[in-house]
Structure 1
């Protein structure tokens, strides 16, 4: 066994019931720890008390005069760094750099998908799967489509989107779902992004030594940069993926570690880039490779997903999901994984030494995410399918090296309904309209349910897992409280997988709902928690909220809608939270960001932002208290939709304005 993977002998095995709500995770952690394997929870425990200065955002290492640690307590200890930067300046710089990195991650994802769209040809590996969406997006970008070849349109669209990354003049193209009132807010506060790459470069310049030293200005730059993610890079990544790989529609599949199959060649797909996973899926269906899997003694090829790549292939292909971010090591610890294939983001460097404890091939595929001790096979999008076949072949041929006595797979898996793209949601909403409000192909029924009060509000519960919190517990506790109070929930990323493992993505979850939400679910034939995709797909939520606001003639900030990231850990989550708040949607964070060493930055984020953009952050680590605050905020925000409802009550035929069944 590799020494790098061992838990130190003097360390006690943690109580598995404290690390996660999920029973499969508890079982596999215990097995891993008892066998001396090092996991994220062991490494977190080994750190003991983490750096208080770093946790509060008041340690600056931007220049080599530092690092400078200043006191978070005014009047006590060192109050300024060598250059004179205060805690407010240092914390705001740290926050801005997290936004810049998170925006870069999502936007680079979007750029890559745009390049894939530009590379497609009729005889190529990638095809156009959603022609309607291609034509609609081309129109939004001002591209003439009449009489043009569909592939030529795709190339023009990709070029237009890529131009928005480096646009030298003007502002980047914004989605048509954005209400005019929200655009006006951004223009008033000088928040409308110009070009995606320009915003990232400019804010990093602003954080450089000798530049911005005003916390409020830095947070404003952070908001503008984040918008180039939510309405730029992430939006492009999601919409172009739909064009290339198909727009997700509702389907059922199984989730959790139990989907790993002892009799099969198991291949785990982990990361975020669907251009790779799409080809791995196609390669796994190749007759020659399927025959090879039988020749080596297995029953076939079993693809499973982890993290956001897991969401991508689940939504579009029905590939089962083995787990979320905090289960990536546990997949390998089952001893039954022939290969873990990764691309970019949220991938533990610890996976490489862990894989050496088993027969697993840990394969990196992107120059952006090279990892020491991994097998690296560079993915070539211009020869995508053959490259993918080569990777799958490596996994199949590794089956003979499996030590069957090391195999231990938890018997836990949950059937879930997933894949609710905006188009998929609209299809379901068509079931709840009546003759008066019948507008198929819109979010009108959802808007009317909010106005009538049948639904008190809506919440997007998104984000990661974090070992600072008992895994999945905050996501699940919060969601159940919201459902009981007639708040419909949409989920993305690892929060979606947490909801799945808890049975919240099934019809059975209706038992947790209040009367109004229960009726909506029954009429629309939906679970009360809607799986909308990977973390880049938070742009789908923005589109949904924007369209509902436009239907009602309101700004997004006037809707009873909130966002929540209760177990977040990545810089992408900071960018996401910032663009959600800047869109006018209150956002609740269950892990407190590293800004509390600055009273001013904390006040800006949790108070003063509301004055400029109509929303703010709430920091609350207790999910039950967070639920109480969310429900109170939703009722406060209902002022605007309640006013619309009062107006409607005086309209003849008022009963016909209520969604069917109410």
Structure 2
């Protein structure tokens, strides 16, 4: 008989105390969570380094990761061709996810304009006009509906165009765009780029890793400056552009005496509709008749970030906690739409007798209840969800154990609000940001984004990395699951400025902002691109995005979407460091191409580190290199976090 696998100690799995409590309870209840599945399912060492090709039936062909050039595939493909193809297909898949999301939002926008969908409306007409004008659509003296329809047709080209340049190229800094044109990486249309990427990585097509990389960049740029940017802009137009709001996070936001409904996924329209359903007096009365004091709507993962930013709804946790939150027994319904939804949620939900509901035709799960969200009549879906949750509350049988842990922080920053925050209503500008980078108060800017991964200690790298960065006067922008890791650690409130270096702390205290600015869901990384473009436009920090003292990092990434995001930042000119692992065979020419050669060709470059302090060292060194190139460098003493700083963090949390 095989020896039972020894479970990992809970303290080695997560830094999130709420999740730790629920892992312990799940083990006592005999319920397996994905942390323990990750322990029992060891990663394939060949696949982990992208050295396996399974693109035809002559293989799969496994390369030797220790001596990558000692063999080739059956067709003769070298390790560089194989790794480049695998990397390109990850970018294609990630781009497809964001692009499909964006296209769904654009179709909803069209139906709202045409009056086919009456449950949603244009909440931010000012942003609609600003986006239209940025794309050179005439607005003066025209009806808003006509401008909106022209904007729809222009943005539709992001997906359907087969030649030319996608519309958002008009928002790219001139020298960056000219560099892309010279390099042949300007995206024509997302559908064409994804299709060509998949074709060129098929057996017997493109077998030059440098040529494959060009299409990788073009595909990724169709995501960042295309599908993702369209999704963010349309979401803002339809549901309102976020502005800062104080929000409570962590599992303590669940309430034993209320009907708790968790919304998990990525498309904001599900949450926008259920917000209305949960506030309906008839349904609230039904909840009270069942013995509840009310209905408690709580977000998780990225759609939770959207609702948190726009409505101030509480947020229970990031991707790694989505199973653990069900272990509380307090969740009366979990509803999901698309992306980052674990199939294992169904089994955990069943054990705790929690209705588990899918709502999107693109993302059904075997055995789950499916209630389709029809955008022309969303309440027929969301009202039923609330009713099922009320029924479960009334018939609760499992004991309820809610971790009494919460943290408060400020979320909902956007490009527009940062512009206002720095300059005010009548002189909004990124000039104060640029000026404070030039004078050295702010060393640089870092986008710390991405997922959590059960093969990393949950939240640890995100938190430790950001503490290092802000202590060294680096302003941090956050999206996705990383944002929740920092929120739970108390780093998203103004009090966190006490942990920043003297220059950044001075700016934060003057403006009244935290040193970590939460921008929203993972698709909202496009906000960072627009902010970077504005920094170039304002002047003083170079002529293209590659000149900026700006970096990016995904410490615990797990999704193909993260690879696409990383590549569109690299192609835009940014140094991007990934943690935990990287889909690359070490010592290959393709690795050197991504990690060194791209920068020499005028792009950004990739980096990798497994330790958060090493990530910080790499990122800060790159910022300092860019400062030196701009002639704004000055000597600084790099400070590392000590025990006193950790105690201070605990006090601010």
User: How far does the alpha carbon of each residue in 1:47-70 deviate from its partner, in whole angstroms, 9 at most, with x for none?
Assistant: 13x211101111111111211112
User: Is 1:240 the equivalent of 2:234?
Assistant: yes
Q: Which residue of 2 aligns with 1:112?
A: 104
Query: Corresponding residue for 2:639?
Result: none
TM-score (norm 1): 0.92
Change (3 A) 1:641 1:297: same
Residue 194 (structure 1) aligned with residue 181 (structure 2): no
Per-residue deviation, residues 84-130 of structure 1 (Å, max 9, x unmatched): 11111111111000000000000111000001100115681101110
| Matches of 1:560 and 1:643, distance apart in 2 | 10
Aligned counterpart, 1:536: 523
2:401 maps to which residue?
408
| d(CA) in 2 for partners of 1:151, 1:392 | 34
Q: Report the Cα distance in structure 1 between the residues aligned to 2:602 and 2:14, rounded to whole angstroms.
A: 36
Per mean C-alpha deviation after superposition, the further-off stretch among 173-182 and 412-421 is 173-182
Residue correspondence of structure 1 range 301-340 to structure 2 within 5 A: 301-340=295-334
Question: Which range is displaced more, 233-242 or 118-127?
Answer: 118-127
Measure, in 2, the Cα distance between the counterparts of 1:331 and 1:528.
Answer: 29
Query: Would the aligned equivalents of 2:69 and 2:78 in 1 still touch at CA under 8 Å?
Result: no
> RMSD value over aligned CA atoms?
1.8
| Contact 2:68–2:588 (CA under 8 A) maintained in structure 1 | no
- Equivalent residue for 1:263, pick from 254, 257, 277: 257
1:499 maps to 486
1:59-78 equivalent positions in 2, closer than 5 A: 59-74=52-67
Superposed counterparts of 1:259-408, under 5 Å: 259-403=253-397, 405-408=398-401
Aligned pair 1:490/2:448, yes or no?
A: no
Q: How many residue pairs are counted as aligned between the two chains?
A: 629
Q: Do 2:627 and 2:633's aligned partners in 1 also have CA atoms closer than 8 Å? A: no
The answer to whether the 8 Å contact 1:277/1:313 transfers is: yes
**Does residue 616 of structure 1 match 2:598?**
no
Distance 1:133 1:579, change over 3 A: same
SS of match in other structure, 2:50: coil
Q: Deviations over 1:281-302 (max 9, x none)?
A: 1111111111111111111110
Partners of 2:158 and 2:167 within 8 A in 1: yes
Q: Tell me what 2:435 maps to.
A: 448
Q: In structure 2, what is the Cα distance between the partners aligned to 1:333 and 1:517?
A: 40
* 523-532 vs 161-170, greater mean Cα deviation: 161-170
Give 1:139 shift.
2.1
Query: Is 2:122 the counterpart of 1:128?
Result: yes
Q: Which moved more, 1:383-392 or 1:257-266?
A: 383-392
Residues 120 and 151 of structure 1 are in contact (CA less than 8 Å); yes or no, is this contact kept in structure 2?
Answer: no
Asked if the contact 2:358–2:372 (Cα under 8 Å) also holds between the matched residues in 1, the reply is yes
Q: Which is further off, 133-142 or 512-521?
A: 133-142
Asked whether the 8 Å contact 1:326–1:465 carries over to 2, the reply is yes
- Superposed, 1:3-152 pairs within 5 Å as 10-48=4-42, 50-74=43-67, 79-121=71-113, 124-152=118-146
Note closer, same or farther for the CA distance 1:242–1:292 as it changes in structure 2 (3 Å cut): same
Q: 1:586 aligns with which of 565, 571, 575?
A: 575
Q: Compared with structure 1, are the counterparts of its residues 632 and 258 closer, same or farther at alpha carbon in structure 2 (3 Å cutoff)? A: same
**Distance (Å, rounded) in 2 between the aligned partners of 1:258 and 1:643:** 46
Mapped partners of 2:143, 2:621: distance in 1: 53
Q: Which moved more, 1:215-224 or 1:160-169?
A: 160-169
Moved over 6 A (4+): none
The question of whether the paired residues in 1 share the 8 Å contact of 2:447 and 2:552 is answered with yes
Aligned residue for 1:322, secondary structure, equals: coil
Instruction: For 1:331 and 1:134, locate their aligned partners in 2 and report how far apart those are by CA, in whole Å.
Output: 38
The answer on whether the counterparts of 1:464 and 1:493 sit within 8 Å (CA) in structure 2 is: yes
Task: Say which SS state the counterpart of residue 127 (structure 2) adopts.
Answer: helix
Deviation at 1:568, TM superposition (A): 0.4
**Structure 2 residue runs without a partner (length 5+):** 635-653
**Whole-Å separation in 1 of the counterparts to 2:536 and 2:497:** 27
* Residue 430 (1) aligns with residue 423 (2): yes
**Partner of residue 477, structure 1:** 464
Other-structure match for 2:514: 527
Worse-matched range after superposition: 114-123 or 207-216: 114-123
- C-alpha deviation, 1:235, in angstroms: 0.2
Q: Which range moves more in the overlay, 572-581 or 596-605?
A: 596-605
Aligned residue number for residue 173 of structure 1: 167
Shift of 1:269: 0.5
The alpha-carbon distance between structure 1 residues 377 and 598, as it changes in their structure 2 partners (threshold 3 A), is farther
CA distance in structure 1 between the partners assigned to 2:499 and 2:362 by the alignment: 43
Q: Conserved in 2, the CA contact under 8 Å of 1:486 and 1:517?
A: yes
Q: Where do 1:217-232 residues align within 5 Å? A: 217-232=211-226
Contact 1:117/1:155, CA 8 A, preserved across alignment: no
Output the CA distance in 1 between the equivalents of 2:203 and 2:584.
19
Please give the alpha-carbon distance, in whole angstroms, between the structure 2 residues aligned to 1:582 and 1:133. Answer: 27
> What CA distance in whole angstroms lies between the structure 2 residues aligned with 1:224 and 1:430?
35
CA apart distance, 1:483:
0.8
Aligned residue for 1:382, secondary structure, equals coil
Q: 1:439, CA displacement in angstroms?
A: 7.3
Q: Distance in 1 between matches of 2:206 and 2:177?
A: 26
CA distance in structure 2 between the partners assigned to 1:397 and 1:315 by the alignment? 29
Deviation at 1:383, TM superposition (A): 1.2
- CA drift of 1:592 comes to 2.5
CA distance in 1, matches of 2:282, 2:4: 50
**Following the alignment from structure 1 to structure 2, what is the Cα–Cα distance between the partners of residues 336 and 156?**
47
